[in-house]
Amino acid sequence: NNSGKLRLINVWATWCGPCVVEFPEFIAMHHMYQRRDFEFISICLDDKSKKDKALKFLKERQASNKNYIFNIDDKYAFIEAIDPNWQGALPYTMIIEPGGHAIYAKQNIIDPAKIKKLIVDDPAIGRYY
């Protein structure tokens, strides 16, 4: 992460129930913190043939953040590149500080309050008073 921004990264799929349930929380956080040094990035792991379904999902939720649809055949290489400790279960969420240090990594559904606290308590973002 050389962007100078705190990055919240969520790996998801349209066929993943918990992913679909928690996605609106990420959109809300994107809107809440987008004027700070913060960036929400979503990465969809749907099969390449399901790209239209993923795009429809993102449009319906007005996901104006950076969205990527995974299009590499080797998903295991992707998992290893993201986090060697990740078992591959979805959803998967990370918070990466500028410089590349991961301060949060979690398989399965997140606690939105905990994520928001980590974001505002991070020196890259800080609290506004």
Q: Would 129 be classed as within a structural domain?
A: no
Q: Would 1 be classed as within a structural domain?
A: no
d(CA 52, CA 110): 26
- What residues make up the domain containing 22? 6-121
Question: Model-level pTM?
Answer: 0.91
pLDDT at 126: 67
Q: Would 42 be classed as within a structural domain?
A: yes
Q: Using CB atoms within 10 A of its CB, is residue 111 exposed (0-12), middle (13-18) or buried (19+)?
A: exposed
CATH code, 49:
3.40.30.10
Q: Would 128 be classed as within a structural domain?
A: no
Q: Would 109 be classed as within a structural domain?
A: yes
Residue 13 structure tokens: 């799929």
15-52: b or e for each residue (b if 16 or more CB lie within 10 Å)?
ebeebeebbebbbebbeebeeeebbbbbbbbbbeebee
The count of domains in the chain is 1
pLDDT at 128: 58
What would the pLDDT profile of 33-79 be if each residue is shown by its tens digit?
A: 999 999 999 999 998 888 999 999 999 999 999 999 988 778 888 89
d(CA 89, CA 108): 7
